Structures are given as C-alpha cells and as structure tokens.
Structure 1
Amino acid sequence: MDAPSRRPAPPGHVLPRRAVLLGLAGALAGACTSRAGTVAGPGTPGSPSASPSSAPSSPSAAGLPATTPWQPGPGENHPEVKLRAVELIETIGAWPPGEQGTDAARKRVAALGLDPSLVEQAGPLLGPGAAAALQIVNAQWGGYQPDSASVMVVCRQWTTAAAGGTTVDVRLVRAQPRWNVTALHPAEPVPPAARISDAAQRVLAEPRIRLPFAAIADVRGGAVHDSVLEAMLALAAKYTFAVTVLRSGHPVNVFETSRTSDHTRGRAVDVWQIDDHAVVDPATPHALVDGFMRDAAALGAYNIGGPRQLGGGTAPRQYFTDDAHHDHVHLGFPT
C-alpha cells in the first residue's frame, strides 16, 4: 500500500493444474500453521517452520485439498475488519458438491448478513466446478480509516474443474454489529506478454521471492517496472520474502484519495513476510524488518512504509508508518 492520505481494481488469474504446480511450488513449500492452527500461507505467525501437513484439518470433499479458515495472528490491529473481509471470500470461493453457481453463493452470503448482490462482483471466485476449496494465503490492509477500509485478500482456489488463485480488494465500512462489505474488486492482471525482460524472468525463477497468483501474472504480463524487479532480486540475495501484491488486486488510487497508486503504475511492491517472519508479528525482530526497509532505500525506493517510523532518509517522508502499514512493508519506486 502507498503512503496514506492526510485524512485520520480488478477477474483474477486462473491457471490449469500443471501451471499451478509450477507457479506455487515455493509458496506451498513454505505454508505453515497460525496460532489457531490454520493453514494461512507461508510463514504465518505462530509456526514459521511448519509444513502444510502439520496443520490439523479434515479431508476436503470431491478429492480437493483440505483447507482451514484464516485467523489473525499476533499483532494484528483491527482484526475484526480483516475477519469480515476474509469470511466473505471464503464463503463465496468454496462450496460443497452440488452447491456451485451464483444462486447458491447468494444464499451463503445472505447467511453472513451481507448483501447477496456482492456475488455478482466475485469474478473468478465463482469458477467452474461442482465443488471448490479455498485457502487464504494472506489478508493485508489496502487502506484503513476509522469508518472505512480496504483489505486485500490473497487466496488459492481448487475446483473440480481447475485450480488457481486471485487477490481481491475487499471494501468495507463501519457498521453495527459488524463491519459491512460494500464492494469486491478481484485482480485484473494483463495478459501474458510475448516477451518479458530479463529481470522479470529472473524474478519468476527466484525461489527466495514468493509471489501469489496475481503478482505472477503481473510479472508475466510485463506490468511491473524493472526498477521494482531489480530491487526485488537484489533483496533476494539477502532475504527470502513473500509478496502480497505488485499491481493487480491493489486499490487503483491511494485509499480514499484521487492519487494514482504506485502499484497501479507498476512501480511498487508490498511484502508481508521476511525470512519466514510475518511483518505484523510482534516477535519478528525489529532489526530484520528495519534492515529490509533501509536496504530497499539503498536500492532506490523513495516511498517506504512499515510498522515503525524510521529516522533518516534521503527525501522528505521517505519512511512512513500508520495503521495500514502495520502488517507489511511497502516499497514505492520513482516514476
């Protein structure tokens, strides 16, 4: 997410099964359990070294992978907002045999106390298949204000017909007794390019850079500037890190402003995990996250957000922090 405003996007990418095995090999290898024992993606707080098989779960219907609900880990701020966003994505994107389709999804959403018409905005989450399983990888702020929020929900999905994943920008407003979801914006990555840069090819091949589906599609489509990709490669020489978003799946504008996001320009990356430590986890060494941020500055990042305010910097407000950057490191590069 970009630097905040002063006030206190886009159907997803679905791949055939063979492509899924290639594109998610690194992410699947790093999956672990959360403090509630759920598989919530690579390096979830609570058990950084655990493997997918260590998570207690039940076999899924129709031969699909077993999945478990996402739960916020230690250090999350406003976890009830993220949970509201996540439960909607889990409800739309997974269904038992025979409950596929829009009508069944609308009934499931209505049971949450949310507007059933949100289903019409779900895009790739309602893919083909008689049954589906969905696993949340990460839920990160796209923006937060006292009465409104954006939560970017990264997920993997398996149906009886296909496998893939997407990132959904979930918009919410404060309401009683729980926050209300007002809109869904699934990622809209550009089509694969005929040719991509050497840096893009190297990023896709680098196992120390863990990319979700939408980010892989962004790189394959040539939608990410080489300044970002080269910096990611340089950071990967020192760190292993997991990306939430590059371009697609992020709000088009900086949250609740008219300013175009650096993500939309293909000039930013959000990182939620460094060396198997979640940025949001209070147990993660400050020196690790702060060092990552300063190394990014040395590589040309001009706009660096994170969980703490760092001193120094070569430009005004080069470093910043707020509620929405409590759970990740944002790196923006000059245009």
Structure 2
Amino acid sequence: MTSGDGADGGRPTADRRGVLRAGAAALLLGAAGCTSGGNPRSAGTSPSPPTPEPPGTRTPTPTPTQTPTPLPEPPLWQPGPAEIQPDVKRRAVELVAALGAWPPGGQGVEPARARVAALGLPPALADQAGPLAPAAPEASLEVVVAQYGGILADSASVLVVCRQWTRGPDGSVAEGGTTVDVRLSRAEPRWTVTELHPGVAGPAAAAPTSAVARVLAEPRIELPPEAAADLRSGTVHDSVPEAMLRLAGPYTLSVSVVRTGHPLDVFGTSRPSDHPLGRAFDVWRIDGMAVVDPATPRQLVESFMRDAAAAGSYNVGGPVAIPGAGNRFFTDDTHHDHCHVGFTF
C-alpha cells in the first residue's frame, strides 16, 4: 500500500466534500455582495426591518401655509401748491380713502362710519359709498387724481378718480376702481362734505367699435378704470375715441373722466354737461406733466388745446386763455387743473 492509497487518499470523503461545498457557497455569497454600482455590503448581512411606531405616535406632516399676496399700499394723494382751494380736494380725498380702503376685518358699514367720524365728517356719508365699499374682507385704494367738477365761492364738486384692490374670501386679489363726485360746502375750520355720487359704469357692449378697441390698446392713452369702462360700454360717441387717437399722435394723454362720475349739469348751472351724454373727456396730464403744475410749459398746454379743437372739439377748456378764439376756448377756476374736450355729437 502506497502512501497515496490510504482511506483519505485519491477521493475526498463525505466530510471533505461538505467543507468544499461550504467554502464555494461562501465565495459565491461574497461575490453577490458587490453591487453593480460598486458599493460593497458585508457578506451575510441585510438591513434590519424598521421598528414599528406605537399607534398614535406618528407626527403628521405639516401643510405649508401660503402667505396671501399683500395689497398695494400707495401713498395718499396730495394737492400741489398751485391748486385753487387745495384743502377742498384734500378733504374729498380723505373721505374717499376712508371709505374705499380698510384692513382685514374692517369691512362693513359700522367700521366705515367710524372711519368717517374720525375725520370729523357726518358718519351717515358711509351709507352713500355704493361701489366704493364692496363686500370684501380687505381693500386698498389709490387716488389717481382729484380734479374739480366745479368750484364756487361756497360749494364745490371734486371728482376723485380711484383704483381699488380688494381681497376675496379665498385670498385672491381683484383690481377695479371708480370715480366719485364728492360735493362739499364751505365751513369752519374746514370745508365739509355734504354728499357723494360714486360712478357706476354700464356693462360692456358685445363688441367695442374699431376706434374704442384702438384706444384701449394705445399705450399713449392712459385710462383709469371708470373711463375705460365707459368706452367699453358703448355709451360714448365715436367723436371721443377718434379725437383721443388723433391727439395721441403728438402727445401722451392721461385721461381722468369720460362719462361716468361727472356731474349731470355744468356745476352751478342747470345746463346739461356733455360728459354724461358721452360727448366729452377730460385730460389731467400731458406728456407726463400735470396740467395744474406750474412747471408744465404753458405753451404745451395751449398747443394741446388748439390741437383738441382741430380734432373736432367745439368746446375746449383749460388753464390757458387763448385770445381771439371766440367761444371755442374758455378758462375758469374749475378748469385750472385739467383740459376739457367736448363735442356736439
């Protein structure tokens, strides 16, 4: 018997075969532990299952709260140094701002009455706010301009042209605006407000005329909300938008009033105004310069007035007296702060 012929020689025994199989299995398992991404994992280990949380201990994921868009906060409009009776306009603007703007929770008639009373004015004026006080939890207001609808020794009409932003119950913000005819009478120590006439433009026509559509799209014509609504309503004669377009060639126009919000009669008379008839418009700024501002060249204002007449207006008013023009041009205290452009049709 050779040394290789013993019981363990030549062929592995059953015990050795078991050891070889175990070693091969270990090698295979070790190879399987390398992922295709090259991140090694210890052979023979696996992630421990998560420990379940006891019932009622899971913290719910908080729902993010969305901060509502803040409403614009424009400064309160102030009259300039060249105004006639500037405190009359200031008084009208203070009242309109008190009625047309309020903080969250300040809506409703009673809070509005309190804000009016704080100005030293009759609280019942809040009952005349109309579209200036829509049902909204919050509102802010910008006075675009305050121009005279009429100014006499003891009474006045101030047309307060506004933009307004209101927040809906769902937090959304809507933009609108109106023009308010504020009537005042002389009193001491300050003029007092006797009544309000907020404008309410009619609904938009089915389709604007070609001239109106061009005016609404013309960047050289600036329109406040009520004036734009007047044009859309179809209640304005085509002579008005056609003249606006003609004047927008050489000038940039800032329109204040077209139809709605203007007194029905020429202030202090029984003569019907052309505005409510849809046959006039007012311009308070030319080429970015206020008509009432003494720094605005008078030559510019006179040129505009003459061009308005050339555009078809029979009745042009403003702060400049144009000699030798007959009855076609006029000037007075009411029109020291804007140019009036009226038509017969």
Q: Fold match, TM over 0.5?
A: yes
Alpha-carbon distance in structure 2 between the residues aligned to 1:88 and 1:66? 17
Aligned to 2:193: 181
Contact 1:191 1:221 in 2 (8 A): yes
Alpha-carbon distance in structure 1 between the residues aligned to 2:85 and 2:285? 19
Alpha-carbon distance in structure 2 between the residues aligned to 1:235 and 1:181? 36
SS in 1 for 2:322: coil
Bigger drift between 160-169 and 234-243 goes to 160-169
SS in 1 for 2:216: helix
**Which one of 242, 250, 260 corresponds to residue 248 of structure 1?**
260
Write the mapping of 1:75-90 to structure 2, written as runs, cut at 5 A: 75-90=82-97
Amino acid at match of 2:90: L
Aligned to 1:279: 291
**Which portions of structure 1, spanning 4 or more consecutive aligned residues, are displaced by more than 4 angstroms?**
none
Alpha-carbon distance in structure 1 between the residues aligned to 2:118 and 2:308? 45
Alpha-carbon distance in structure 1 between the residues aligned to 2:217 and 2:70? 30
Aligned to 1:163: 175
Larger Rg belongs to: 2
- Structure 1: stretches of 5+ with no match in the other structure: 1-60
Deviations 1:80-124 (A, max 9, x none): 100000000011111111111111000110111111111111111
SS in 2 for 1:177: coil
Contact 1:62 1:131 in 2 (8 A): no
SS in 1 for 2:150: strand
1:128 Cα offset (Å): 2.3
1:334 Cα offset (Å): 1.6
Alpha-carbon distance in structure 1 between the residues aligned to 2:126 and 2:69? 23
1:188 Cα offset (Å): 1.8
Aligned to 2:250: 238
Amino acid at match of 1:113: G
Contact 2:236 2:279 in 1 (8 A): yes
1:62 Cα offset (Å): 7.0
RMSD: 1.2
**Which one of 316, 319, 322 corresponds to residue 329 of structure 2?**
319
SS in 2 for 1:300: coil
Aligned to 2:152: 145
Q: TM-score, normalised by structure 2?
A: 0.77
Q: TM-score, normalised by structure 1?
A: 0.79
1:132 Cα offset (Å): 1.3
Write the mapping of 1:85-234 to structure 2, written as runs, cut at 5 A: 85-161=92-168, 162-234=174-246
Aligned to 1:332: 342
Q: Which has the higher contact order (CA 8 A, sep 6+)?
A: 1
Alpha-carbon distance in structure 2 between the residues aligned to 1:180 and 1:99? 24
Alpha-carbon distance in structure 2 between the residues aligned to 1:157 and 1:220? 19
Deviations 1:150-197 (A, max 9, x none): 000011111212321110000000011110101111112111111221
Aligned to 1:63: 70
Deviations 1:17-57 (A, max 9, x none): xxxxxxxxxxxxxxxxxxxxxxxxxxxxxxxxxxxxxxxxx
Amino acid at match of 2:144: V
SS in 2 for 1:85: helix
Contact 1:153 1:168 in 2 (8 A): yes
Contact 2:301 2:320 in 1 (8 A): no
Deviations 1:266-305 (A, max 9, x none): 1111000000000000000111110000011111111111
Alpha-carbon distance in structure 2 between the residues aligned to 1:62 and 1:219? 30
SS in 2 for 1:139: strand
Amino acid at match of 2:121: L
User: 1:299 and 2:301 equivalent?
Assistant: no
Percent pairwise identity: 62
Amino acid at match of 1:257: T
Alpha-carbon distance in structure 2 between the residues aligned to 1:232 and 1:199? 9
Alpha-carbon distance in structure 2 between the residues aligned to 1:241 and 1:117? 37
Aligned to 2:50: none
Alpha-carbon distance in structure 2 between the residues aligned to 1:62 and 1:178? 38
Alpha-carbon distance in structure 1 between the residues aligned to 2:183 and 2:69? 32
Alpha-carbon distance in structure 2 between the residues aligned to 1:153 and 1:90? 10
Alpha-carbon distance in structure 1 between the residues aligned to 2:314 and 2:331? 14
Amino acid at match of 2:156: A
